[in-house]
A and B are shown apart, each in its own frame.
Chain A
């Protein structure tokens, strides 16, 4: 709808909205995260939900113990290769729409343990990540910033058409293949449909 007309109407005390905006406004202010921590980043995540940083301001204080009730998975901490199938399975069990925040250096890329033998080099190898936060660990402010970024992302989503999000597209996958324990590594080591290697620019 025309922005000028809308602001004109607002001055008269008439608020108009679209179904899409109403839907996105409702969703972005009630993101329920999955109560799920893997390492030290989880401590910062807990701090963010407590009184001092108060994640409740964003409607996100309800940490759900069940993936069925959660909208957002905060991958807070190092994902070891032994833990990776469980993380992917939890993500698969979440109901649509679902979002992922990769919190901290380890969840993004393996972080300081990148050259180790048992650490997954980033959870985005298996599941689509919406927001990455760098830091080791990121401060609660950074997590809040990630929340706001996610809210902006949700706010911009369309209900219909080509640019609609995954959960509204009947052809887009909802579950991603769960890696299996292999003899030397996880099988497969990455999901090429989700993950593309970083581009080197020098």
Chain B
């Protein structure tokens, strides 16, 4: 009786009963009174009044991911640029040059992707 986990167990049972009780009640109620009435429109997946057409599996263009990656690179770049811009007045010329080289590397990649035709959306 002196098991310290006993209250936890009791609480668990109470929680389960609290959750399952109404569900069981509703289930018994439905069994006793309300008959099930499924139908083709009621069981349809899409529920906005229109009939669904075609397949939910659509192909994404591979360009989308390339776009996404390029966007992500420059998105992350702003995270580096922001503290640089905030502390700009206190920085040395070397820091500025280093940042410009960092920028140049990324822009170089963008130019290369552009040349490859990744940015042309067809």
Contact = CB atoms under 8 A, between A and B. Distances in A.
Nearest to A66: B47
Interface residues on B, range: 10 to 19
Contacts of B39: 92, 174-175
Interface string B20-57: 00000000000001110101111010011111000000
A13 B40 CA distance: 50
Contacts of A68: 47
B31 to A, nearest CB: 12
Nearest to A87: B49
A68 B47 CA distance: 8
Interface residues of A, number: 21
Contact of B49 (A89, A159, A167): A89
Contacts of B49: 67, 86-87, 89-90, 93
Contacts of A66: 47
Contacts of A92: 39, 41-42
A67 to B, nearest CB: 6
A197 interface: no
Closest 7 interchain pairs by CB?
A174-B37, A86-B49, A170-B35, A92-B41, A175-B39, A90-B49, A89-B49
